[in-house]
Amino acid sequence: MGRVDGMVALVTGSSRGIGRAIAIALAEEGADVAVNFFNSEKAAKEVAQAIHDVGRKALLIRADASKVTEIKHMVRKTVEHFGRIDILVNNAGGGNYQNFEDISESEYDEILDLHLKGPFFTAQAAAPYMRAQGRGRIINIGSELAYIGYPELIHYTAAKGGVLTLTKSLALALAPTINVNTVSPGPIATETFMAGPEFVDEIRDQIPLKRWGRPDDVARTVVFLASSDGDFFTGQTLDPNGGTVMP
């Protein structure tokens, strides 16, 4: 019996990287999963197949997780298909390394819409269903950079800093029925991170645990919070980061 057996999860941005690992880990622990994607349909279908392979159901939903009308559609479609929603993981993200001087207003807005506005409105859309069920879990994916900043990711780090406070406020607003927490990963060896300037041996060797994180390191943390093991956690941030930041 899995730790989230019989539950339904919606994982935004779950066609690749950390989101992919989270969706599959939840399925392995017994959940049916709505797999959200925007561009990567082929990759999303592969995630759905992996979920089917462990005996759970998957639903593919194309939606832009930064657009409120599409967010509402995504949540409604999840509930219409599965009959409920127990776990929401706000994982959708992205962004480019940019110099401070080069960030335009539209680029700034795009990052904040995806990383900060999107999680708020997805939580707002899912909360009524969770309250009606008498239980729910909302897990926001943050970043260790919210604690320390990064000069070429100013808009991204600003958004992730907002996620930490958003989580605390949502936890207070939705208690006692819905637990809301953040998972803030450190350097995880995803395709995006490996293409960035920090993916060098010198940085890896400065990590106390002497390795890059893996998407599964984040996924297992999410499963913990989603399950009954996380019953007494709300408004908290867990940091699978190998010791790179100790807030």
Each residue's pLDDT tens digit, 17-65: 999 999 999 999 999 999 999 998 999 999 999 999 999 999 999 999 9
Q: In 7-73, which ranges are E strands?
A: 8-11, 32-37, 58-62
State the helix-helix crossing angle for 17-28 and 41-53, rounded to 10 degrees: 20
How many other β-carbons are positioned within 10 Å of the β-carbon of residue 210? 10
User: Does domain 8-235 fall into CATH 3.40.50.300?
Assistant: no
Over 80: is that where the pLDDT of 192 sits?
no
> How far apart, in Å, are the Cα atoms of 134 and each of 8, 138, 177?
14, 14, 6
| Whole-angstrom distance, CA of residue 213 vs CA of residue 189 | 6
Q: Catalytic site residue 150?
A: no
pLDDT band, residue 194 (cuts 50/70/90): low
CA distance 34 to 82: 9
Residue pLDDT, tens place only, 135-153: 999 999 999 999 999 998 9
Q: Where are the domains of the chain?
A: 8-235
Q: Catalytic one among 108, 129, 150, 156?
A: 156
CA distance 225 to 231: 7
Query: Is residue 118 scored above 70 in pLDDT?
Result: yes
* Residue with tokens 């991204």, as numbered in its chain: 156
